[in-house]
Structure 1
Amino acid sequence: MDWYWWLVIMFALVAIEALTLDLVLFMFAGGTLAAGIASAAGLDLTWQVVAFAVVSAVLLAALRPFLLKNLRARGEPLVETNAAANVGREAIVVQEVTSTAGLVKLRGEVWTARADDDGVVIPAGAEVVVRRIDGATAVVEPQQQSAGA
Structure 2
Amino acid sequence: MDWLSDHLAAVWLGLAVAFGIAEMFSLDLVMGMLALGALVGLVSALLGAGFAVSAILAAVASVACIAVIRPPLVKRLHGGPELSLGHGKLVGQQGRVTERVTAIESGRVKLAGEIWSAKPYDETLVIEPGETVEVLEIRGATAYVHPVPSLEP
Per the normalisation by structure 1, the TM-score is 0.49
TM-score normalised per structure 2? 0.48
